[in-house]
């Protein structure tokens, strides 16, 4: 059986998955570095026992980082991607390796730059500069130690050139890190804007702009979905139709703007009378449709009475105290013999005419 990558990389959390993938990429560079050190051994620039020691340290560090990532303990760190920690370990390891080598440090330095590039992608300019400073420090300490303890393994001219080159590259890396972190911020802001725009587009599609409750197509879609559920689970489903009476007169006598205000207040009051699982929508101009899942006709008549009272018994602020709103409510329940949802709506509407 072929081993699946899913065992190595988690798939249940996309962020953890990305972190582990990034870690595996860095681990590959580490493996290449260890292989390259084998070449140094062949060239007589590194002792076999030192190579074994370095390989063991690399393996232990990477196993520890992988265990942190896979156990989820990395989430407890301020930077759960562990980039800073990984780069810190790289600097230390590089310092030790440079110290142990008897020459040819320039080759490993190139590989080290590849690992620094991970920092460019993940760190901001300040963090990268701190890291670069630490790398320079480790490198300089290693060179100083070689110069002091094994002067025969130290070519001052070449080593100083390498140190100067690394010192020049660190600020350049800091510049790129700053640029990349700005791009990351920009991308994150764009993502937030996009998400907001998506939510607004969704609201525009399903909400009535005046009252903020479901619009006609959304409440019908809700009814359709609830009919199917009721059918499947053998549960009752009730529909209430509400029509405000003489609304045309309200508009005419008090203005269209006040009519709008009344519609908004009616929607607010109706919302306060129904459960979270119920559907409430504006069916037409001054008509509302309420869908009550898992409710019998008897329960629906109690709710309908509550809805009617909420509209008729309290005055509406923009209207004079003597002017009360009136409404009619009709009830129906979904029957399995109904060929479509419109039959239930129609029965509730006809019921308003007999009210």
Ligand X SMILES: Nc1nc2c(ncn2[C@@H]2O[C@H](COP(=O)(O)OP(=O)(O)OP(=O)(O)O)[C@@H](O)[C@H]2O)c(=O)[nH]1
> Quick check: 214 and 282 in contact, CB under 8 A?
yes
Applying CB under 6 A, among 102, 260, 297, 338 the residue interacting with ligand X is: 260
Record the tokens describing residue 299, joined without a space: 């329960």
Minimum CB separation of residue 321 from ligand X in Å reads 21
> Quick check: 81 and 124 in contact, CB under 8 A?
no
Q: Which of the stretches 23-31, 228-236, 242-250, 266-274 binds ligand X when contact is defined by CB under 6 A?
A: 242-250
Q: Which helix (H) or strand (E) holds 178?
A: helix 156-206
Minimum CB separation of residue 302 from ligand X in Å reads 24
| 351 binds ligand X, rule: CB under 6 A | no
Q: Is 58 exposed, middle or buried (0-12, 13-18, 19+ CB in 10 A)?
A: buried
Applying CB under 6 A, among 10, 259, 281, 330 the residue interacting with ligand X is: 259
- For ligand X, the binding residues in 202-241 under the rule CB under 6 A are 210
Instruction: Output 81 or 215, the one with its CB closest to ligand X.
Output: 215
Minimum CB separation of residue 340 from ligand X in Å reads 24
| 272 binds ligand X, rule: CB under 6 A | no
> Quick check: 10 and 24 in contact, CB under 8 A?
no
How many Å apart are CA 211 and CA 256, to the nearest integer?
14
Would you call 330 helix, strand, or coil by DSSP? Answer: strand
Minimum CB separation of residue 246 from ligand X in Å reads 5
Instruction: Output 101 or 213, the one with its CB closest to ligand X.
Output: 213
Minimum CB separation of residue 216 from ligand X in Å reads 12
* DSSP, residue by residue, 20-63: HHHHHHHHHHHHHHHHHHHHHHHTTSS-HHHHHHHHHHHHHHHH
- For ligand X, the binding residues in 127-186 under the rule CB under 6 A are none
| 286 binds ligand X, rule: CB under 6 A | yes
Q: Is 260 exposed, middle or buried (0-12, 13-18, 19+ CB in 10 A)?
A: middle
Applying CB under 6 A, among 15, 73, 205, 256 the residue interacting with ligand X is: 256
| 324 binds ligand X, rule: CB under 6 A | no
Applying CB under 6 A, among 11, 190, 198, 246 the residue interacting with ligand X is: 246
* DSSP, residue by residue, 96-152: HHHHH-SS-HHHHHHHHHHHHHHHHHHS-HHHHHHHHHHHHHHHHHHHHHHHHH-GG
Record the tokens describing residue 87, joined without a space: 């780069």
| 285 binds ligand X, rule: CB under 6 A | yes
> Quick check: 301 and 240 in contact, CB under 8 A?
no
| Contact letters for ligand X, residues 9-28 (x by CB under 6 A) | --------------------
Instruction: Output 237 or 289, the one with its CB closest to ligand X.
Output: 289
| 251 binds ligand X, rule: CB under 6 A | yes
Applying CB under 6 A, among 169, 207, 245, 274 the residue interacting with ligand X is: 245
User: Where does this chain bind ligand X (CB under 6 A)?
Assistant: 210, 243-248, 251, 256, 259-260, 263, 285-286
């Amino acid at each position: 059986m072929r081993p699946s990558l899913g065992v190595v990389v988690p798939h249940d959390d996309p962020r953890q998955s990305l972190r582990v993938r990034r870690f595996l990429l860095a681990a590959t560079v580490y493996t290449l570095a260890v292989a390259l050190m084998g070449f140094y051994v062949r060239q007589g620039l590194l002792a076999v026992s030192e190579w074994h020691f370095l390989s063991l340290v690399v393996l232990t560090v990477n196993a520890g980082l992988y265990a942190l990532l896979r156990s989820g303990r990395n989430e407890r760190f301020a930077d759960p991607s562990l980039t800073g920690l990984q780069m810190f370990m790289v600097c230390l390891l590089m310092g030790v390796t440079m110290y142990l080598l008897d020459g040819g440090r320039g080759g490993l330095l190139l590989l080290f730059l590849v690992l620094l590039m991970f920092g460019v992608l993940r760190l901001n300019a300040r963090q990268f500069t701190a890291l670069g400073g630490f790398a320079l420090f480790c490198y300089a300490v290693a060179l100083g130690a070689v110069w002091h303890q094994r002067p025969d393994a130290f070519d001052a001219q070449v080593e100083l050139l390498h140190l100067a080159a690394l010192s020049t590259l660190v600020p350049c890396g800091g510049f790129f890190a700053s640029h990349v972190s700005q791009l990351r911020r920009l991308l994150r802001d764009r993502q937030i804007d996009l998400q907001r725009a998506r939510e607004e587009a969704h609201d525009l599609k399903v909400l009535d702009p005046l009252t903020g409750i479901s619009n006609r197509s959304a409440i019908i879609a809700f009814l359709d979905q609830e009919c199917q559920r009721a059918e499947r689970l053998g549960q009752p489903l009730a529909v209430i139709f509400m029509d405000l009476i003489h609304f045309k007169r309200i508009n005419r006598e008090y203005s269209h703007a006040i009519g709008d205000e009344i519609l908004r207040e009616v929607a607010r009051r109706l919302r306060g009378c129904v459960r979270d699982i119920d559907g409430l929508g504006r069916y037409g101009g001054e008509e509302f449709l309420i869908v009550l899942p898992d409710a019998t006709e008897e329960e629906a008549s109690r709710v309908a009475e509550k809805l009617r009272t909420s509209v008729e018994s309290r005055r509406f602020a923009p209207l004079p105290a003597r002017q009360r709103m009136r409404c009619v409510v009709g009830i129906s329940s979904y029957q399995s013999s109904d060929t479509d949802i419109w039959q239930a709506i129609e029965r509730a509407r006809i019921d308003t005419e007999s009210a």
